[in-house]
Amino acid sequence: MSAPAGSARTTTLVLAFGIGSLVSVGMGVYARLHDATSFAFNLAGFSSGTAAKAWLATLAFALALVQLASALIMYGRIPVRAPRWIGTLHRWSGRAAVLVTVPVAVHCLYALGFETNALRGLVHSVAGCFFYGAFVAKMLVLQRQEAPSWALPMLGGAVFTGLTVLWLTAAAWFFGTSGLHF
Amino acid sequence: MSRFAPLLTLLAVAVLGGALFTLNVVNSPANSTGTPSAAAASQPAAAAAPPPAAPPATSAPPAAAAVAEKAYAGRSAGNEVTVAIAVKDGRAVGYVCDGKKVEAWLEGTLSGSDLALKSKDGKSTIAGTADDKQSFGRVAVNGKEWPFAAKAASSPAGLYEGRAQVRGVLNRIGWIQLQDGSQTGVWNRGGDEVAAPVLDPNRLDGVVVDGVSVTVRTIGGDDAVIMR
C-alpha cells in the first residue's frame, strides 16, 4: 500500500468518525441542556403518542433485520447466491429504516430530553446519540472509496447494534409494560 | 444512483429531522404567541422572558409570611389559564393549567406578602402578592405571561393532584376546583398531556384512568409537587 493511499484512508476514517462523534455528542448535549417540553405536535398517525413511537421504532427495527440479512448475503456470510437486487434492497431498506426513526428521535429529543435518572432511560439516551453518530460515520465512509474494507461492516454493525438497543429499551419495554396495542 | 447517494441519504434525514423539529418549535405552546418570526426565534428569548422577580425557591427562610395557611384559586385575565396557589408557613406551591394541554407545577415562597414560585425548569413562574382574601400577580407558562387574580378558596375549592401508575407509566393529573364550582385539569400520561377526567371533590377515590384507580390528594402549601 503506497503512502498516499494510506493517508487518504486515514483522512477518510478520521473525518467520518470525527463528524460522527460530533453528531453524537452534539445530540446528547442538546438533549441534556434543552429543557424537556413534554410537548410535541401530533403528526397524522401520531395521535396516540408513545404507542405510535413504539410502532415506528418497531418498523425501523424490522427494516434493520432486513439490513442485517442483506448485508450478510452481500458479504457472503449466508450460503445463498446473492440476487442482483440485494444491494438495492439493502440501500432502500436502510434509507426507509433511518427515515422512520427520525420522527421518533425528534420527539425524544424535543419533548423528553436526555434521561439520566433511570438506567433504562440512560441506556436509551446514550444509544440514541450513538446510533445517529454511527449512521453519519457510515454514510461518510460509504461516500469515500478509499476507506478500509473493515470500516463498512463495522459501522453497519454499530448502527444495527445501536438500533437494537434503542428498540429493546423503549418499544419492547413499552409493549412489555403496557401490552401490545396501537 | 449517483455517487453522492450516501450524502443525499444524510441530507434527507437531516431535512426531515429539521422540518419536524421546526414544526415542534413553531407549534409548541411555549412559542405560539406573537408573529411566526418571533416564534421561530423565541426559544432562548422565551426562557429569559419571565420576570426575574422570583428569588430562588431555595433561599433562606423568608420574612414572616403575611398568611399562615391558605389556598387560592382563580384565572388569568383573559381566562387563558387557571391558577391555584397554596401557601403554608412561608412555603408556596402552585399549579397552572388550561384544562386542555398546558400545565405547570410550581414551588416557591411567600415572603411577607410577596409570592414567588417557579417550575422545575424555571420556564413557568408566578410572581405576585397574597393576603387573607386574594392573590394577584403575573403568571408565566413556557414563555407566555398573563396577569391573574385568585380568590382565597375554601373547601372543596383548591388544588388537587392525582397519580396512578398505568402499566409502568406515571400518569399525573392536576385539578383546580374554583369557588364557583367549575373545574379545570390536565392529565399528563407519561408526557402526553390531555384534558383531565372529572374529579368529584367529595369523592377523591373515584377517578379511574385506563382501568387504574388514581390516588388523589389535596395539595397544601407544604406539599412537594415538583418531581425530582
Closest partner residue to A102 (CB to CB) among B16, B27, B189 is B16
pLDDT interval class at A39 (50, 70, 90): low
pLDDT interval class at B46 (50, 70, 90): very low
**Identity (one letter) of the amino acid at B177?**
Q
Instruction: Please indicate if any CB of chain A lies within 8 Å of the CB of B16.
Output: yes
> Helices in chain B by DSSP H: which ranges?
5-27, 36-48
DSSP element (H, E) containing B125: strand B125-130
The ipTM of this complex is 0.81
Q: Which residues contact B137 (CB under 8 A, 6 or more apart)?
A: B115, B126, B127, B128, B129, B147, B148
Mapped onto helix, strand or coil, the DSSP state of residue B224 is coil
Cα(A29)–Cα(A83) distance, integer angstroms: 43
pLDDT at B216 over 60: yes
pLDDT (0 to 100) of residue B37: 38
Grid cell for residue B15: 431535512
**Among candidates B101, B86, B77, B78, which has minimal Cα distance to B184?**
B101
| Vertex B36: Cα angle to B31 and B42 (nearest 5) | 40
Contact (Cβ atoms closer than 8 angstroms) between residue B214 and residue B163: yes
Domains recognised in chain B with CATH numbers: 5-48 (no CATH), 69-152 (2.40.128), 158-218 (no CATH)
pLDDT interval class at B50 (50, 70, 90): very low
Mapped onto helix, strand or coil, the DSSP state of residue A53 is helix
pLDDT (0 to 100) of residue B55: 42
Grid cell for residue A178: 403496557
Contact (Cβ atoms closer than 8 angstroms) between residue B125 and residue B118: yes
**Identity (one letter) of the amino acid at B148?**
F
Instruction: Please indicate if any CB of chain A lies within 8 Å of the CB of B23.
Output: yes
pLDDT (0 to 100) of residue B59: 43
B36-59 burial, b if ≥16 CB within 10 A, otherwise e? eeebeebbeebeebbeeebbebee
**Among candidates A138, A56, A36, which has minimal Cα distance to B16?**
A56
pLDDT at B188 over 80: yes
> Helices in A34-150 by DSSP H: which ranges?
50-74, 86-107, 119-143
Region of B112 please: left (phi>0), alpha (psi -120 to 50) or beta. left
Cα(B1)–Cα(B73) distance, integer angstroms: 64
Over residues B95-153, the pLDDT tens digits come to 999 989 899 999 999 988 899 999 988 889 999 999 888 999 999 998 889 999 999 99
**Identity (one letter) of the amino acid at B142?**
N
pLDDT interval class at A5 (50, 70, 90): low
Closest partner residue to A139 (CB to CB) among B7, B28, B169 is B7
Mean pLDDT of chain A: 84
Place of cell 433485520: A65
* Residues from A in contact with B at Cβ < 8 Å: 35-41, 43, 49-50, 91, 94-95, 98-99, 102-103, 105-106, 109-112, 135-136, 138-140, 142-143, 177-179
**Among candidates A163, A164, A144, which has minimal Cα distance to A17?**
A144
Cα(B153)–Cα(A34) distance, integer angstroms: 36
Percent of chain A past pLDDT 90, that is, above it, reads 43
pLDDT (0 to 100) of residue A97: 94
Closest partner residue to B10 (CB to CB) among A105, A111, A139 is A139
Contacts of B174 in chain A (CB under 8 A): none
| Vertex A86: Cα angle to A84 and A87 (nearest 5) | 100
If you average pLDDT over residues A14-32, what whole number do you get?
90
Mean pLDDT of chain B: 81
pLDDT (0 to 100) of residue A109: 84
Q: How far is CA A61 from the centre of its chain?
A: 9
Q: On the CB side of A128, how many CA atoms lie within 13 Å of its CA?
A: 29
pLDDT at B40 over 50: no
pLDDT interval class at B58 (50, 70, 90): very low
Contacts of B9 in chain A (CB under 8 A): 94-95, 98, 139
